[in-house]
Structure 1
Amino acid sequence: MNWKSFILGVAVGAIGGYAVKELISNKSDVSPETVLELVKKQFKQNGPISGSWIHMEAEPYKTQQIHYRVYKGGISRTNKGEDKQYEFIADATTGTVLEVRPFKNEFALKHNQ
């Protein structure tokens, strides 16, 4: 066996291993628990929260022609005796919050009319 073949084999193996590592690390999601903790931390900057939840499975989501895999969840807070709930949508790959909106309970809206 000559040294050129050996060195070429080692180099190709190292480059291949690095490429596989990068592909695997780019495809992994942030855990839903981590995303929920990040969202709670951001909400706590504006006051205490009284509850939170998150769906444990990422799901497809499209906004402005961009496709994501997201976690959906919610945060509750009490402000001046009034309970307010918010829904959030966070990117499953990065944990970045894509959208926050007040929670609208459609069941309660239909029955209060």
Structure 2
Amino acid sequence: MKMRDVLLGALIGAGAAMVATSMTTCKKSAIPPEKALKSVKEAVKNSYAVKGSWIHMKTDSINKFDVPFTVYSGGLTCEKEGRLEQMDFMVDANTGTIVELQKQ
């Protein structure tokens, strides 16, 4: 076997490994639900005093404005002007961005 054949085989193998690695790292993975909940609480802290919160540990798939999202859903108990209010939210599971926030 010639050295050229060995080098060509090694080069092809390395190229295939690089392509496989880049394809797996490009796929977005969900952030932990605790981190998503923390981002929601940070976003509302200037308007509301958060007294309690919860989040579903599994993601859901939704379409909002004909755009597919993978989201965590949850809720907050907030105090504003001495009154407690319940709020539901959906947060993007990949970025932590609030997709929906509404009072009950």
State the distance in 1 between where 2:96 and 2:17 align: 31
Runs of 5+ unmatched residues, structure 2: none
State the distance in 2 between where 1:96 and 1:22 align: 21
Contact 2:48 2:79 (8 Å CA) reproduced: no
The correspondence for 1:18, drawn from 16, 21, 31, is: 21
Q: Deviations over 1:32-61 (max 9, x none)?
A: 110001111111122421011111110111
Give the TM-score normalised by structure 2.
0.81
Give aligned pairs, total.
Answer: 101
Runs of 5+ unmatched residues, structure 1: 104-113
Percent identity, aligned pairs only, is 30
Give the TM-score normalised by structure 1.
0.76
RMSD: 1.9
Q: Which residue of 1 aligns with 2:32?
A: 31
Following superposition, the deviation at residue 81 of structure 1 comes to 2.2
- The amino acid that maps onto 2:94 is T
**Greater share of strand residues, 1 or 2?**
2
**Greater share of helix residues, 1 or 2?**
1
